[in-house]
Structure 1
Amino acid sequence: MGKTLIHEHILVNFIGAEEVGYHRWNRDSVMERVLPYLLELKAHGVNTIIECTPAYLGRDPELLQALSKRTGIQFLTNTGYYGAVDGKYLPVHVHMETAEQLASRWIFEFENGIEDTGIKPGFIKISVNAQDPLSEVDQKIVKAAGLTHLATGMVIASHTGPWMAAKQQLDILQSVGVSPDAFIWVHAQQEKNFDLYMEGAKRGCWISLDGVVWDVERHVERLVFAKENQILDHVLISHDAGWYSPGEPEGGDFIGFTAIFDTLIPILQKEGFSDQDFDDLLVKNPGLAFGLRAVKKGQ
């Protein structure tokens, strides 16, 4: 994978699950808008982008494939569903099917490709509403992700926020036999209690501080804490940037992917971060987090 950004978006369409579709955007127009930002990123030595836009929110594997051919950057797309925002981006069948049935859909994509593209997902992307307890639908999505992981070896990246929601997901996943290191706690920067990062690291999950472009200072504080407490080996970083928005002129206010290199790293260097630390955060940890796990015999 090389140098990797683990949470970015090329295109996101927030219109809702019932209306979203490829008819909402023109791939050539999206490419023209996005290419300069990707070429700028490539100059920083980035090899891989984990593209986190899920199904029913604008996932477009053929767009990513075309961009990869133009830039030489590898994209990983995903399978899974986005339960946050009270289910606005969930297809109707989620409410009627079991976790096992949902998992079978996602496993099918892993084995056969997304729709008729032949392009296979590289990880599972889900999301939950940050509440205690998690809703029944969110619990079902998490269980389905766990079953999919056990059958495919793909890591689970879950839009989560506070530790309270991450802990519940880990409990569900471990109840079906998923190791905590197969779970990425997405948007962990929203957790204000830094001591809970220690609990996450102790449980063995990945702590994803992935909104750098929106608040550099917040990420500096958390990364310094992680270094001082020797848990950088559990941390991932990214921007959560991009966001071509269909329906807006020229795709809206597209945000570039270079704040880590232009702003965050220079600040962290002054805080004593070494080249090895940056290599761990951008190369070693992403490779470990997103590598396929061995599937247990019989599953």
Structure 2
Amino acid sequence: MEKSLGIRMRLRNNRFYVNQGRSRPMIHTVLGPIEEGELGVTLPHEHILVGFIENGKLTPDDYDRQEVVSLILPYLMELRSVGCRTFVDCSPEYLGRDPYVLSELAVKSGLHIITNTGFYQAPYLPPFVFEMPEPELAKLWIREYDEGIGDSGVKPGFIKIALNKGRLFPVQEKIVRAALTASLETGLPIQAHTNDGSVVMHVLEIMAERRFDPSRFIWVHAQNEKDLDLHEHAFKQGMWIQIDSIARSPHEDNCRLLQAFLERGMEAKLLLSQDLGWYTVGKAQGGDIRPYHKLFTEFIPFAVEYGIDPDVLDRLMSRNPAIALRNRS
């Protein structure tokens, strides 16, 4: 039953776009650009590889690329077998982004894999980030979009940043402003790690000042904020709201939050993911790697039983990610 539901979701998604009869925006995967209608059922926030090494000192010498591929591939194959088509890897540079690992996994798994440009937050930032002016930071990310990441030829499909709690710290505000600049130049959407909703309200202030469209911005870990009025305010401004605690917290808690968002009319801007994986640098055999398939095999059946319309779940897993991740250039 679980597999058939995932497959039905993928087919519904394909029909939705094939019947549009219009030109379709392109989205960059690690193997090249695809039309947004090819995205299919999507996990918009997961991880393959993460290395919590401070001050930007993580390098490929700290792990074995082939070990990462061999250990992660079975999890991706299992994910594909339940109907998922696209996997969005949210590890930014200096925290585990590796275009060569991602490209090999895309080829071997048959999944579309999307990577990013951008930076995370202290203490996982290299020292130069604190000194470099905002326009120069933006140029780094624009260059990766124009020329590819290093000599890999892989282009990012979105910008990944991180926000602290409360008002933005100076370095994070600079990163936010650089991300807005890079997004306007490249058309890439932004995914932002968050710890609460007040920091998102600060970002909305900056967006208003810069006349930046919030629909290009994904509020990651939105479940961390308990004041639903803040979510609704961000939604009304056009921002994407992402619940990515699926399989990390009780299904009933996630269903209750999802239902509350739906009752507030927020379906058109909701995303679901798990924030799972991953191969942890420095741990034997990558540590405790958590599988990616449980959203499909456990959460969706639970949510349907809970009373959430399966057609709504289809749209949250297929139509919405395609719109959120589309390039606006």
The alignment's TM-score, normalised by the length of structure 1, stands at: 0.94
In 2, Cα distance between the equivalents of 1:234 and 1:18?
33
The amino acid that maps onto 1:73 is L
1:98 corresponds to which residue?
133
In 2, Cα distance between the equivalents of 1:266 and 1:138?
39
The amino acid that maps onto 2:315 is D
In 1, Cα distance between the equivalents of 2:143 and 2:208?
23
1:283 corresponds to which residue?
318
- What is the alpha-carbon root mean square deviation over aligned residues? 1.1
* 1:80-119 matches, cutoff 5 A: 80-83=118-121, 87-119=122-154
In 2, Cα distance between the equivalents of 1:259 and 1:130?
30
The number of residue pairs the alignment matches comes to 290
* 1:262-273 matches, cutoff 5 A: 262-273=297-308
Quote the offset at 1:26 in angstroms.
Answer: 1.0
| Residues 167-206 of structure 1 deviation map (CA, whole Å, 9 limit, x = unaligned) | 1112212322310100100000001122322112111100
| SS in structure 2 at match of 1:95 | helix
Kindly indicate whether the alpha-carbon contact (under 8 Å) linking 2:247 and 2:299 is maintained by their aligned counterparts in 1.
no
Kindly indicate whether the alpha-carbon contact (under 8 Å) linking 1:187 and 1:208 is maintained by their aligned counterparts in 2.
yes
Kindly indicate whether the alpha-carbon contact (under 8 Å) linking 1:224 and 1:271 is maintained by their aligned counterparts in 2.
no
1:21 corresponds to which residue?
59
| SS in structure 1 at match of 2:288 | coil
1:161 corresponds to which residue?
195
- The answer to whether structure 1 residue 191 and structure 2 residue 225 are counterparts is yes
- The answer to whether structure 1 residue 130 and structure 2 residue 130 are counterparts is no
Over the matched positions of the two proteins, sequence identity in percent amounts to 39
In 2, Cα distance between the equivalents of 1:222 and 1:17?
36
1:34 corresponds to which residue?
72
1:297 corresponds to which residue?
none
Quote the offset at 1:267 in angstroms.
Answer: 1.9
In 2, Cα distance between the equivalents of 1:257 and 1:15?
24
The amino acid that maps onto 2:206 is I
| Residues 243-270 of structure 1 deviation map (CA, whole Å, 9 limit, x = unaligned) | 2012211110000112211222122112
The amino acid that maps onto 2:321 is P
| SS in structure 2 at match of 1:17 | helix
Kindly indicate whether the alpha-carbon contact (under 8 Å) linking 2:82 and 2:297 is maintained by their aligned counterparts in 1.
no
**Stretch of structure 1 that moved more, 11-20 or 139-148:** 11-20
The one of 283, 290, 294 equivalent to 1:248 is 283
Kindly indicate whether the alpha-carbon contact (under 8 Å) linking 2:117 and 2:160 is maintained by their aligned counterparts in 1.
yes
In 2, Cα distance between the equivalents of 1:21 and 1:43?
32
In 1, Cα distance between the equivalents of 2:218 and 2:175?
15
Quote the offset at 1:4 in angstroms.
Answer: 0.2
| SS in structure 2 at match of 1:114 | coil
In 2, Cα distance between the equivalents of 1:24 and 1:174?
41
In 1, Cα distance between the equivalents of 2:55 and 2:277?
21
The one of 46, 57, 70 equivalent to 2:95 is 57
| SS in structure 2 at match of 1:264 | helix
Kindly indicate whether the alpha-carbon contact (under 8 Å) linking 2:277 and 2:289 is maintained by their aligned counterparts in 1.
yes
The alignment's TM-score, normalised by the length of structure 2, stands at: 0.86
Unaligned runs of 5+ in 1: 295-299
2:243 corresponds to which residue?
209
The amino acid that maps onto 2:300 is I
The amino acid that maps onto 2:237 is R
In 1, Cα distance between the equivalents of 2:304 and 2:45?
23
Quote the offset at 1:12 in angstroms.
Answer: 0.1
Quote the offset at 1:81 in angstroms.
Answer: 0.6
Unaligned runs of 5+ in 2: 1-38
In 2, Cα distance between the equivalents of 1:291 and 1:103?
20
- Distance change (3 Å), C-alpha of 1:205 and 1:41: same
2:9 corresponds to which residue?
none
The amino acid that maps onto 1:62 is Y
Kindly indicate whether the alpha-carbon contact (under 8 Å) linking 2:197 and 2:222 is maintained by their aligned counterparts in 1.
yes
In 2, Cα distance between the equivalents of 1:124 and 1:231?
24
| Residues 62-84 of structure 1 deviation map (CA, whole Å, 9 limit, x = unaligned) | 1000000001101110000112x
